Amino acid sequence: MVKSKIEKELRVLANPAKALDLSRFFKTGKNQYGAGDIFLGVMVPQQRTVAKNNIPAALTELQALLNSKVHECRLTALLVLILKYEKADGSERRNYVDFYLKNTNNINNWDLVDLSAPQILGDYLLSRNRKLLLRLAHSRNLWERRIAIISTLAFIRQNQFEDTVKIAAILLNDGHDLIHKAVGWMLREVGKRNLKIELEFLEKYSVQMPRTMLRYAIERFPESKRKKFLNKK
């Protein structure tokens, strides 16, 4: 089975010292957002190599990997899914997107979202109706909300900014720091390509934006402009 082969390759690459560092970095302690997540200590470039070697994995095998408590098993499964999606035609791609959406509970750390949402869901929606993202933005599931905003990176790269701005406004009052960071990051990405649109958003919402969200959004601004927004009342 390809699943067993992937697991074996990841175990060979395991690094206990890195696993400890990653467990701390991804907040796996009690009551933290990554509670219960288990790390082997395999770096992302290594996982990409494993994924490239195992593209034939069936969706049933990827499902079993996504059900794993081992972080690298879930991420490698997503990396395989991305490769399968990229090689697929329209109808197959829909199957992979449906599979992805069925597994949002297993795409349950920020790197899992960030490394997969634009490449799968965002890419798929480039030429399709995007109302699904609005539903995800209103979800009670933290990871679905992050998927909603991070998926728009695919649109931003095509100079399409409307959905990012719309979802950012929905998430303005979100209570989670990981959403604040994600929204701020996407607004910053918008600003790299169209500063006018980012500034319009900031002029309208900067006072009510959580501080972390605002700081991420204005990170690349000159110091004088950063102070202007940080001190705005």
**pLDDT digits over 169-215, tens only?**
999 999 999 999 999 999 999 999 999 999 999 999 999 999 999 99
Q: Give the residue from 63, 85, 105 where a domain finishes.
A: 105
- On whether both 98 and 121 belong to a single domain, the answer is no
- On whether both 212 and 134 belong to a single domain, the answer is yes
Predicted structure pTM score:
0.95
Could you report how far apart the first and last alpha carbons of the chain are, in Å? 60
- On whether both 8 and 94 belong to a single domain, the answer is yes
- Please answer whether residues 134 and 166 qualify as being in contact, where contact means their C-beta atoms are separated by less than 8 angstroms: yes
pLDDT at 36: 87
What are the backbone dihedrals phi and psi of residue 70, each rounded to the nearest 5 degrees, phi first? -80, 120
What tens digit of pLDDT does each residue of 21-44 get? Answer: 999 988 888 888 888 899 999 999
- On whether both 90 and 161 belong to a single domain, the answer is no
- On whether both 136 and 61 belong to a single domain, the answer is no
Q: Give the residue from 74, 105, 136 where a domain finishes.
A: 105
Complete DSSP assignment for 136-147: HHT-S-HHHHHH
Q: Give the residue from 82, 105, 128 where a domain finishes.
A: 105
What are the backbone dihedrals phi and psi of residue 224, each rounded to the nearest 5 degrees, phi first? -65, -40
Q: Which domain holds residue 186?
A: 117-233
Please determine, for residue 64, whether its predicted confidence score (pLDDT) is greater than 90: yes
pLDDT at 233: 66
Quick one: what percent of the chain has pLDDT higher than 70?
100
141, amino acid identity: N
Tokens 């490769």 correspond to what residue? 83
Q: What is the mean pLDDT of the chain?
A: 95
- On whether both 134 and 89 belong to a single domain, the answer is no
Evaluate whether residue 182 is within a structural domain: yes
CATH assignment at residue 86: 1.25.10.90
What tens digit of pLDDT does each residue of 141-158 get? Answer: 999 999 999 999 999 999
The count of structural domains within the chain is 2
What are the backbone dihedrals phi and psi of residue 38, each rounded to the nearest 5 degrees, phi first? -110, 130
The whole-angstrom separation of Cα 199 and Cα 134 is 23
Which residues partner with 70 through β-bridges?
38
Please determine, for residue 14, whether its predicted confidence score (pLDDT) is greater than 80: yes
- Could you give the 3-state DSSP secondary structure of residue 70? strand
Evaluate whether residue 112 is within a structural domain: no
pLDDT at 28: 85
pLDDT at 42: 96
Residue 138 or residue 33, greater confidence: 138
What tens digit of pLDDT does each residue of 118-130 get? Answer: 999 999 999 999 9
The DSSP letter of residue 223 is H
- On whether both 48 and 147 belong to a single domain, the answer is no
The whole-angstrom separation of Cα 71 and Cα 115 is 13
Evaluate whether residue 134 is within a structural domain: yes
The whole-angstrom separation of Cα 174 and Cα 167 is 11
- On whether both 91 and 126 belong to a single domain, the answer is no
pLDDT at 27: 86
pLDDT at 165: 98
pLDDT at 180: 98
